Structure formats: structure tokens, C-alpha cells
Amino acid sequence: MVKAAWIGLGVMGHPMAMYLSRHPDIELTIYNRTTEKAANWCREHDGIIARTIEDAAKGAAFVFSCVGNDEDLKEVTTGPEGAFKTMPQEAVFIDHSTISASAAREVADIARTQNLYFLDAPVTGGQKGAEAGTLSIMVGGEATALQTAQPLIETYSSAIQHMGPPGSGQLTKMVNQIAISGLVQGLAEAINFAKAANLDVEKVLSVTTKGAARSWQMENSGKSMAEGHFDFGFAVDWMRKDLGICLDEAGRNGADLPVTTQVKSFLDEVSQKGSGRKDITSLITRLT
Ligand code: NAP
């Protein structure tokens, strides 16, 4: 059996760890900062609860995380009580959070000095993709480390792409978030227009999802957006974090992001009105 550890059982981490725990060769230890989430996870799935990250990572050949932002990732890896303290030599840390490319490079550099590997492996596919085990994953870091981790990552993904050196997984995720931001705002405007025109929105979505306006967002979130359900999915505040990262990076590479800048300010408005934990499709609430 191979020992692995999972840190962070949130919206995404909970189902991803579930799929990993079903791998026949894996003995999984889990850690969640809020302990009751770890207890809940263990009631349904096979795993050992660790009280600290250091305990979870001890003896683990692979340590996975899906936490929050740059600071959270640093805390769980290189922090005073982080996984790097106890991971064995040559072990691989796979991070599925969305963070900046510079933080990913910084943690990867520290990993190398400690004879560890670090892969920045952000995901796309949303809560539904995580629950279905069909996430698409973009990976930066040593190709050989990815090769050893790949059979485990495959338990919760349908596509894995090695992008290049440390940070390149996160740069690819930025491309993904830039593409999504304008798309969700466009979908919000379209549904709001359909309502203003007194059309049957269900029929509108039924016909438009079969044509050129079709998108993952339209197929998976169009109906709930029209009905005003936002208690799920990808939080407004996570998208604000991600677009902030994209705008910082664009400040360095010179790419012009006018729509992304605008959508970021719309998300700031939605968050200020108390919907920071709602799904990003709550962008439509600005229009209604
Ligand atoms: P979430 O539901 O808020 O879960 C975050 C998890 O990370 C929780 O288990 C939280 O512990 C843990 N955590 C955060 N900071 C920590 C710290 N400093 N130390 C220890 N544990 C910490 O978030 P999520 O939606 O799963 O998203 C997680 C990551 O995936 C984010 O980077 C997000 O941008 C990215 N992502 C999300 C989606 C999506 O659709 N939701 C899609 C793609 C990528 P507690 O339970 O104690 O708070």
C-alpha cells in the first residue's frame, strides 16, 4: 500500500479525496482545519483522520491539497506546522488550489531544497466536475513527479495536461478564469434580457444550448441562474481572488484585460452586498 494524505475537504476537496480513497493501492490520511468536516467525510469514506498537517504528511509518498489562496497554500506546505516538515525525501506534493504563479514557483523552489517535489495542479470543471470525478487538470512542475502521481490524480479527473515548469499550471488556470469571467457575465445579461422580453427562459435555454451560444456554464448553471439559486458551486470571493491574480499577472506580461477588469468590479459589488460565498452565477443579481 502507498501512503497518501489529503489536506482540505471543502466543496472541491471533499469529493476529490473520496475518489482518491477508492484507489485500491492507497492508504489515505485526511486533514481538515475545521475538524467536524473531517469527521463527516470519514463517516462516509475510508480514511484516517490526522489532527495536524504534520501528522497527515508523515510517511506519505504523496500529499494533496485543495485549500484557498497563496497564504493558505504556504501555511500548509512551508509554514511552521506545514507538510514539508514531515514529508519523506522524494515525496510529491500536489496542490489543486488556484493561487498565483509566483507563489507556486516559490513553494516549488523550497521543495527542491528539501529534496521534495511540488506540482501546481489547479483544476477546472467546478463542483459538478469534482463530484463526477471528471475534472480537467493543468500541471506545472517536474514531469517525472507528475508521472508517478498521475494514476492517483486520474481517480478524480478526465484530463491531465503537463504544461511545463513550476507556475505554468497556474498560468493556464488564469487563461481559464479570464475566459469564464466574460462568459458568465454574458450569460447573466442574456438570461436577464430573456426575462425582460417575457420569453419562457426554459425554452430559450433548451434551444440555445443546442446552438453556437452553447457553453458549460449555460448547460450546467443556466437554469439555476434563471431561478435565482446560488447556494452551491464556485464562490464569488474565490473568483475575485482568481481575477485579482490574473490582473496582477497581466500587469507583468502586458496583456490587456478590459472585460476581466469590469467583471472583477461587478463581483466586488456582489460580494459587498453579502454574496461572497454564493456561486459566481449570482452576477445576475446586479441586473435584476
Ligand atoms: P472551500 O469550500 O472554501 O474549501 C476550502 C478548504 O481549504 C476547506 O477545507 C478549508 O478548511 C481549507 N483551508 C483553507 N485555508 C486553509 C488553511 N490556511 N489551512 C488549512 N486549511 C485551509 O473552497 P473550494 O471551493 O473547495 O475551493 C478550494 C480551492 O479550489 C480554491 O483555491 C478555489 O479557488 C479552487 N477551485 C474551486 C472551484 C469551485 O468550483 N469551488 C473550482 C476550481 C478551483 P476549513 O473547512 O477549516 O475552512
Encode pLDDT of 129-187 as tens digits.
999 999 999 999 999 999 999 999 999 999 999 999 999 999 999 999 999 999 999 99
Same domain, 113 and 197: no
Nearest alpha carbon, ligand 1 atom 37: 234
Ligand 1 probe mutation, 66, 123, 184, most atoms within 8 A of CB: 66
Q: What is the pLDDT of residue 36?
A: 97
Report whether 98 contacts 245 (CB < 8 A).
yes
Nearest alpha carbon, ligand 1 atom 39: 234
Structural domain range at position 100: 2-165
Q: What is the pLDDT of residue 282?
A: 98
Same domain, 8 and 149: yes
Q: What is the pLDDT of residue 248?
A: 98
Of the residues 134, 165, 196, which one is the last residue of a structural domain? 165
Measured in angstroms, how far is the CA atom of residue 228 from the centroid of ligand 1?
Answer: 24
Q: What is the pLDDT of residue 51?
A: 97
Ligand 1 probe mutation, 6, 7, 9, 11, most atoms within 8 A of CB: 11
d(CA 267, CA 230): 14
Per-residue pLDDT reduced to its tens digit, 262-275: 999 999 999 999 99
Residue 66 confidence class, pLDDT cut points 50, 70, 90? very high
Q: What is the pLDDT of residue 204?
A: 98
Q: What is the pLDDT of residue 4?
A: 98
Of the residues 100, 132, 165, which one is the last residue of a structural domain? 165
Measured in angstroms, how far is the CA atom of residue 132 from the centroid of ligand 1?
Answer: 18
Identified catalytic residue from 37, 74, 85, 173: 173
Measured in angstroms, how far is the CA atom of residue 56 from the centroid of ligand 1?
Answer: 18
* Percent of the chain whose predicted confidence (pLDDT) is above 90: 99
Q: What is the pLDDT of residue 39?
A: 97
Per-residue pLDDT reduced to its tens digit, 184-219: 999 999 999 999 999 999 999 999 999 999 999 999
Same domain, 9 and 152: yes
Measured in angstroms, how far is the CA atom of residue 129 from the centroid of ligand 1?
Answer: 15
Please count the helices (runs of H) and the strands (runs of E) in the chain: 12, 9
Same domain, 161 and 177: no
Same domain, 146 and 38: yes
Same domain, 256 and 233: yes
Measured in angstroms, how far is the CA atom of residue 201 from the centroid of ligand 1?
Answer: 33
Same domain, 144 and 27: yes
Q: What is the pLDDT of residue 140?
A: 98
Give me the CATH number covering residue 78.
3.40.50.720
Q: What is the pLDDT of residue 161?
A: 98
Same domain, 24 and 141: yes
Give me the CATH number covering residue 245.
1.10.1040.10
Domain count, the chain: 2
Per-residue pLDDT reduced to its tens digit, 42-59: 999 999 999 999 999 999
Of the residues 139, 165, 191, which one is the last residue of a structural domain? 165
Measured in angstroms, how far is the CA atom of residue 69 from the centroid of ligand 1?
Answer: 8
Report DSSP state, residue 280: G
Q: What is the pLDDT of residue 35?
A: 97
Same domain, 142 and 211: no
Q: What is the pLDDT of residue 83?
A: 98
Ligand 1 probe mutation, 9, 33, 181, 245, most atoms within 8 A of CB: 33
85 is catalytic: no
Same domain, 158 and 25: yes
Confirm whether pTM is higher than 0.85.
yes
Ligand 1 neighbours (beta carbon < 6 A) = 8-13, 32-34, 37, 66-68, 72, 75-76, 97-98, 123-124, 126-127, 233-234, 238, 242
User: Which among 179, 180, 158, 176 has a CA at the least distance from the CA of 168?
Assistant: 176
Report whether 132 contacts 182 (CB < 8 A).
no
Same domain, 17 and 33: yes
d(CA 188, CA 215): 13
Give the nearest ligand 1 atom to 76 CA: 19
Same domain, 65 and 97: yes
116-139 as b/e, with b when 16 or more CB fall inside 10 Å? bbbbbbbbbbbbbbbbebebebbb
Which residues fall within 8 angstroms of residue 255, CB to CB, at 6 or more apart? 249
| Least confident among 34-38, 192-196, 231-235 | 231-235
